[in-house]
Amino acid sequence: MTTGINFWDGSIWTFVTTLTILLIAMLVAAILRHAFPAIRKLMIPSSVLGGFLILFVGFLYKQITGHNLFDRTLLETLTYHGLGLGFAAMSLRNLDQRSKEYKGDSFRTSISVVSSYLVQGVSALLITILLSFVMKSFFASGLLLPMGYGQGPGQAYNWGRNYENTYGFTDGTSFGLTVAAMGFIASSIGGIIYLNKLRRKGILKASAEYQEEKLTAEQVFGKDEIPMADSIDKFTVQLALVFGSYTLAYLTMRGINSIIETGALGNFGYNTIQPLIWGFNFLFATLFGILVKIIFRLLQRKGIIKRSFTNTFMQNRIAGFMFDIMVVASIAAINLSAFTHAEFVVPLLAICIIGAVLTYWYLDMYCKRVYPGYRHAAFLSLYGMLTGTASTGVILLREVDPLFDTPAANNLVYSQGWSILFGAPMLLLMGVAPQSMGKALMTMGIMLLMFILLNFLALRKPARKQGTKTGDGSLSLG
C-alpha cells in the first residue's frame, strides 16, 4: 500500500494552479489594457483588473458547478504574506541619496498621508456609528476605510479578519477587501476627473502613455555589487535576503506572541496586542529588512565581504511582484454573497463614496498650499496612493510627470518612515475602537485631535517654491 503523498493528488497542485490563474488573469488584463484604449484610459492597474476578472469568473463557476474555484484561505494567505514580503523587499533597496534635498517635502508628505488616513477614519467611523443605530451593522467598521484606501488590500484583510474573528463582525474580511477594491475604482475615477480638469485648463498637453523607460547599467547592476551569475544566482540572493528578513520578523512576532499566550497581559494581550502584532507583519518585515541591510553594509566595511549583496533594481521587481499578487488575490478573495445583506452594502457604499470625496478635497487643498510648484503632480501621486496603492499613485503621476522630474515620486518613498511614526497612534487605536461604542467615540475624538495638530504643524507656513516644468518643458505642474 502506498503511503505519504501522491504527486497526482489535487492538493499537491493547488498552490501552483492558484498562482497560475492569478498570473494569467493579470496577463489577460494587461493585454486588454493595451488592446482597448477605453480600458487603458481608466488607468486601472492590471493586477486590479485581473482580480475583478477572476472574481467574475469565480462567481460564474460557482453558479454552474456549485463549488468554489479557489481555496479562499489560500488567497487570503497570499494577500497576507504578499504585503509582508513586499515591504521587506522595499526596505532592502539602496535608495538614491540625491533625494536628500527634498527631505522637507518628504516630511510634509508624511503628514498629508497620515492626515488623509485620519480624514477617512473620522468620517467613516462617524457614518458607521450613526448607521448602527438604524440598522444591524458593525459600529466600528468605518475604521476599515483608511486600512483599505490608505494602507491597501493587505492591511484591509488583516484588520477585516481581526474584526470578524475577535469582535464578531460578520463578513468583516470581505468588507475590508471590498473597501480596498473600491479604493482602486475611486482612484481611477478621481484621477480621471482631475486629469480632465487639467486638460480643460490647458495645463496637461501630453500623456505618458507608452513613454519609453530608459534604464542605465548602473540602475540595473549597481556599484560594487556581486556578479549576476556566480556560484549562486544574484536574483536568488535577493530572494534569500527578502525571505530571511521576513522570517526574522515572524520569529520576533512569534516570540512576543508566546508571552501573550502565557496570559500575563490578560485580555488586553489577547484582544489588543495579539492582533496588532500579527497585523503589523509588514512593519516588522520593514524593520528587519533595514536591519539586514545594515548588517551587510557593516560586513562590507569590515572587509568580511568584498561586494554589496543587495540590488535595488531586483528588489523593486520582487516588491512589484509581491504587491501584484497581493492585489489580485485580495480582490479574488472577496465573498460576493455578502452583498445580499443591506447591513454590509449600505455602510460599505456610504463610507467609500464619502471617503473618496473627502480625500480628494483634502489633498487638493493641502497640495495647493504645501507644494505650490508641483501641486498637480503631488496631488495625483498622493490621491492615487491614498485610495489605491503606491503603484496606482505612480500610474497617475506619470500622466503629468512622465520622467519624474518633480519630487513627487521621491516623496512617496522617503515619507514612509515619518508616516509610520505619525500613524502609529492611529494603528494602535484600531484595536481599541471595536471594543465598545464608548471607545469608538473616544477613538474618533483622538483622531480628530491628531488631524488638527498634524495640519497645524504642516500648514503653519507655506512650503518653498519648486520648479514648475518637467524635463521637456511641455507642461506646467504648478
For residue 324 the three cell numbers come to 501584484
158-212 per-position pLDDT tens digit: 899 989 988 999 899 999 999 998 998 898 889 889 988 988 888 875 444 445 5
Cβ–Cβ under 8 Å, residues 471 and 403: yes
d(CA 312, CA 333): 31
pLDDT recorded at residue 471: 36
Residue 214 has pLDDT above 70, yes or no: no
Max alpha carbon distance in the chain (Å)? 79
Residue 87 has pLDDT above 60, yes or no: yes
Q: How far apart are the first and last CA of the chain?
A: 75
Taking alpha carbons only, the member of 106, 110, 80, 82 closest to residue 95 is 106
d(CA 51, CA 389): 15
Residue 156 has pLDDT above 80, yes or no: yes
327-342 per-position pLDDT tens digit: 899 888 888 888 888 8
d(CA 325, CA 449): 37
Q: Which residue has the higher pLDDT, 95 or 89?
A: 89
Report, as an integer, the average pLDDT of 212-230.
Answer: 70
Residue 99 has pLDDT above 60, yes or no: no
pLDDT recorded at residue 54: 94
Q: How confident is the model at residue 218 (pLDDT cuts 50, 70, 90)?
A: low
pLDDT recorded at residue 277: 85
pLDDT recorded at residue 365: 94
Residue 405 has pLDDT above 90, yes or no: no
Q: Which residue has the higher pLDDT, 275 or 125?
A: 125
**Any idea which residue has 477594491 for its cell?**
181
d(CA 32, CA 46): 9
d(CA 446, CA 425): 9
Residue 417 has pLDDT above 60, yes or no: yes
Q: How confident is the model at residue 245 (pLDDT cuts 50, 70, 90)?
A: very high
**Any idea which residue has 495579539 for its cell?**
274
Provide the sign of the torsion angle of the four alpha carbons 330, 333, 339, 342, taken in this order. negative
pLDDT recorded at residue 278: 85
Report, as an integer, the average pLDDT of 287-304.
Answer: 92
d(CA 286, CA 89): 8
Report, as an integer, the average pLDDT of 39-57.
Answer: 86
pLDDT recorded at residue 2: 55
pTM for this structure? 0.78
Residue 53 has pLDDT above 60, yes or no: yes
Collect contacts of 92-98 with beta carbons under 8 A, ≥24 apart: 92/238, 92/241, 92/242, 92/245, 92/289, 92/292, 92/293, 92/310, 92/315, 93/310, 93/312, 93/315, 93/316, 93/319, 94/222, 94/293, 94/308, 94/310, 94/312, 95/312, 95/413, 95/414, 96/410
443-452 per-position pLDDT tens digit: 999 999 999 9
Residue 476 has pLDDT above 50, yes or no: no
Q: Which of 14-23, 39-48, 89-98, 367-376 has the lowest mean pLDDT?
A: 89-98
Residue 351 has pLDDT above 90, yes or no: yes
Residue 297: exposed, middle, or buried by beta-carbon count in 10 A (0-12, 13-18, 19+)?
middle
Q: Which residues pair with 308 in a beta bridge?
A: 225
Provide the sign of the torsion angle of the four alpha carbons 417, 418, 424, 430, taken in this order. negative
Average pLDDT over the chain reads 85
Q: What are the extents of the domains in the chain?
A: 13-95+105-206+232-459
% pLDDT > 70, the chain: 89
pLDDT recorded at residue 462: 53
